[in-house]
Amino acid sequence: MSIATTLTQVPVVVDEGKCIAEKGCTVCVDVCPLDVLAIDMLTKKAFMKFDECWYCLPCETDCPTGAVHVSIPYLLR
Amino acid sequence: MKRIDLEFDLVVIGGGTGGPMAAVKAKEQNPQLKVLLIDKAHVKRSGAISMGMDGLNNAVIPGHATPEQYVKEITIANDGIVDQEAVMAYAANSFDMIQELDRWGVKFEKDETGDYAVRKVHHLGSYVLPMPEGHHMKKILYRQLKRARVEITNRVVVTRLLTGASGEVVGVMGFDCRTADFYVIRCKAAVICTGAAGRIGLPASGYLMGTYENPTNCGDGHAMAFHAGADLANLECFQINPLIKDYNGPACAYVTGPFGGFTANSKGERFIECDYWSGQMMMEFYNELEGGNGPVFLKLDHLAEETIGEIEHILHTNERPSRGRFHEKRGNDYRKQMIEMHISEIGFCSGHSASGIWTNARGETSVPGLYAAGDCASVPHNYMLGAFVYGRLCGQSAAAYCADTAKGRVDDGAIAAEQARIRAPLERSDGLTPFQIEYKTRRLVNDYLQPPKITRKYEIGLRRFDEVREDAEAMVATNPHELMRAMEAHSILDCAEMAARASLFRTESRWGLYHYNVDHPDRDDANWFCHTLLSKDAEGRMQMRKKDVEPYLVAIDEEERNAYQRLRVARSAEAA
């Protein structure tokens, strides 16, 4: 293998105290146009898996518990 | 990689704006028709209007504008190179579509008498209708899709069309971006509504998805149309957008214009007479940026508090609501300072410009059974309302076509080849990542294709694209999501090459900055008052040809013809 993982600070942050993904909620994952959110199999909470954000906000707007916050990606800020 | 086979009459590719409308209208015309709407995202929040839209930019409403006037305006703004019949088909159906959307629950701004509150932004006529509550657009479309019983498949990336013995559409192919399952969908007709090719160039921030357009709109439709043998029109007429610098989203001088806002230079002076986008407007913008009077700004700081409050409400709740968040972090306040603007990287987008998959006034492409609507099709300056109108035309045309057409035979060889092409990156354990291929392609586009266009640079660019194409054969994807990015990288490469080939073909300058060719700086009507068409030759390479401009339905007189050439604010000489 000659492939490295480069770490970045992602723009979408999920408040795990508010996220109800363990109850079967996948709203943020469903609405993301770029399909960059996922449910962590261990914590059972939503998280940003790929740093490919259009800062468009459906994930934050549609979250039923207000758990998702989108920042402008650092490179643009 | 499981194979899933489906059968429909009509497949609509892309569930953003024009796509849902095409699907609904096809079902309304023939409720027995089996219609599938397919999207690589989720139809509830996909496409350019994912978070709604702040207004109509091209409403042709009786009492404010006539279809003839609109056709004239777009002909002039587009330097004469338009199929007026296609523009007229939009204009004549514009008001009817507004009324239908109104009945569906879309809230347009109205005055105290209940009439639509149309504003003037264009150079000649009045066509702008604000939608301060336009954030609910996608919900309204989704309700109509459910009502019409359109079947929906989300998260499937369509990559290629299948064509039959006479070149007609017989199916579509793609894969699921979460499972990598391979889809073969037999059908009689398809409508491409995949939006702009907005991921060809690299934003100045270097952030790959920090594009003006929704980055899902990466030119998949343009690429699949090309590979299916369709003509693409006027691709050298790029789209370049004025925008909020770094945020790379719309500053919306259109929206603020009627409130008294305007685009200003560093001295706070107005330098263009009209904020409506045209190549000439973008040229003036570019000249001001580069000519010592830059940067360019959106100026609102002279407006009253209640006006600014209203503008903030429109701009920060619609279309790109994270604008407000960006300004906050930067310390930008419309009341206190001007907002720095810039111009975008290049793209194809007929919504604002004029290039795309060639279609006529019925939404038909040059491939039988294939239709296209919205930003990916060639009808110029179509915006959201044009996507709806042409979505409807395509849905109706396709439904009629399906009624008279039997399902064609699919070519198993073509299916096997596409399955192998899609599967390849997943089967490699080592190689280049889709990110690397995409980044390099888009960086080369900025280096060599961004106007001003220079022949020598374009030739170098084409050579470098060939190298990246070879490298792309070594792309590796470790999961289905990366596979989606890998397939998109192929589309982006195709679009980059199309942009270069079309630009090299038209040896004149036209459309202001969009096709400002340094080696041929003048407009040459004698040789180039024509469309250009790009298509696939017998060897699968890109070929170019000219197409005559169709006879005008609405005559343009000499005085009007140059209206958009006179955009710069005239300054009288100051006394010494």
Rounded alpha-carbon distances, angstroms, from residue B330 to A52, B243, B262, B522: 22, 16, 21, 41
Q: Is residue A2 part of a domain?
A: no
Q: Where exactly are the structural domains of chain B?
A: 3-53+85-106+144-239+347-412, 242-343, 423-522
Q: Is residue A75 part of a domain?
A: no
Q: Which residues of B touch A56 (CB under 8 A)?
A: 50-51, 214, 320, 322
**From the candidates A29, A69, A72, which should be mutated to test the interface with B, based on the most B CB atoms within 10 A?**
A72
**Residues B329, A73: C-beta atoms closer than 8 Å:** no
Q: Is B202 helix (H, G, I), strand (E, B) or coil?
A: coil
Residue A2's Cβ-count burial label (10 Å; 0-12, 13-18, 19+) is exposed
pLDDT of residue B575: 45
Give the H or E element holding residue B217.
Answer: none
Angle at B220 between CA B481 and CA B372, to 5 degrees: 140
Which residue in A33, A73, A77 is closest to B216 by CB distance?
A33
> What CATH number is given for B242-343 in this structure?
3.90.700.10
**Residues A2, B430: C-beta atoms closer than 8 Å:** yes
**Residues B41, A34: C-beta atoms closer than 8 Å:** yes
**From the candidates B207, B332, B483, B492, which should be mutated to test the interface with A, based on the most A CB atoms within 10 A?**
B207
Q: Which residues of A touch B177 (CB under 8 A)?
A: 35
Residues on A contacting B at a C-beta cutoff of 8 Å: 1-3, 30-35, 49-50, 52-58, 61-62, 70-73, 75-77
Angle at B38 between CA B34 and CA B43, to 5 degrees: 115
CATH superfamily of domain region B3-53+85-106+144-239+347-412 = FAD/NAD(P)-binding domain (3.50.50.60)
**Residues B429, A1: C-beta atoms closer than 8 Å:** yes
**Residues A3, B214: C-beta atoms closer than 8 Å:** no
Q: Is residue A9 part of a domain?
A: no
Q: Phi and psi dihedrals of B233, rounded to 5? A: -110, 140
Alpha helices in B7-83 (DSSP H): 18-29, 67-77
Domains of chain A: total? 1
C-alpha of B220 from chain center: 12
Which residue in A52, A56, A75 is closest to B51 by CB distance?
A56
Q: Phi and psi dihedrals of B484, rounded to 5? A: -60, -45
| CA pair distance B502, B184, nearest whole angstrom | 32
Q: In Å, how far is B497's CA from the nearest CA of chain A?
A: 24
Q: Which residues of A touch B436 (CB under 8 A)?
A: none
Domain range for A25? 15-70
Which residue in A52, A56, A72 is closest to B208 by CB distance?
A52
Q: Which residues of B touch A63 (CB under 8 A)?
A: none
Q: Which residues of B touch A76 (CB under 8 A)?
A: 205, 207, 210, 246-248, 326
Q: In Å, how far is B429's CA from the nearest CA of chain A?
A: 7
Give the H or E element holding residue B406.
Answer: none
And the tokens for A1?
A: 């293998």
**Residues B177, A35: C-beta atoms closer than 8 Å:** yes
% residues pLDDT > 90 (chain A): 92
pLDDT of residue A1: 66
Which residue in B41, B325, B430 is closest to A72 by CB distance?
B325
Q: Which residues of B touch A53 (CB under 8 A)?
A: 209
Residue B342's Cβ-count burial label (10 Å; 0-12, 13-18, 19+) is buried
Q: Is residue A77 part of a domain?
A: no
DSSP conformation class of B249: S
Strand pairing report for B151-153 and B35-38? parallel
**From the candidates B45, B46, B218, B327, which should be mutated to test the interface with A, based on the most A CB atoms within 10 A?**
B45
pLDDT of residue B569: 77
Q: Which residues of B touch A1 (CB under 8 A)?
A: 429-430
Q: Is residue A5 part of a domain?
A: no
Q: Is B81 within 8 Å of B510 (Cβ atoms)?
A: yes
Residue of A nearest to B481 (CA): A35
How many CA atoms lie less than 13 Å away from B306 in the CB half-sphere?
0
**Residues B329, A77: C-beta atoms closer than 8 Å:** yes
**Residues A72, B247: C-beta atoms closer than 8 Å:** yes
**Residues A35, B215: C-beta atoms closer than 8 Å:** no
Q: Which residues of B touch A2 (CB under 8 A)?
A: 430
Q: In Å, how far is B159's CA from the nearest CA of chain A?
A: 16
Q: Is A26 within 8 Å of A58 (Cβ atoms)?
A: no
Q: Is residue A10 part of a domain?
A: no
Q: Phi and psi dihedrals of B121, rounded to 5? A: -130, -35
Regarding an ipTM greater than 0.85, the answer is: yes
Residues on B contacting A at a C-beta cutoff of 8 Å: 40-42, 44-47, 50-51, 155, 177-178, 205-211, 214-216, 246-248, 320-322, 325-326, 329-330, 429-430, 433, 476, 478, 481, 484-485
Q: In Å, how far is B44's CA from the nearest CA of chain A?
A: 7
| CA pair distance B535, B321, nearest whole angstrom | 39
Q: In Å, how far is A8's CA from the nearest CA of chain B?
A: 12
Q: In Å, how far is A42's CA from the nearest CA of chain B?
A: 19
Q: Which residues of A touch B178 (CB under 8 A)?
A: 35
Q: Which residues of A touch B137 (CB under 8 A)?
A: none
Q: Is B407 within 8 Å of B186 (Cβ atoms)?
A: yes
**Residues B322, A75: C-beta atoms closer than 8 Å:** no
Ramachandran class of B251: left when φ > 0, alpha when ψ lies in -120 to 50, beta otherwise: alpha
The CATH number for A57's domain is 3.30.70.20
Q: Which CATH class is domain B423-522?
A: mainly alpha
pLDDT of residue B313: 87
Which of the residues in chain B have pLDDT under 50?
A: 573-576
Residue of A nearest to B177 (CA): A35
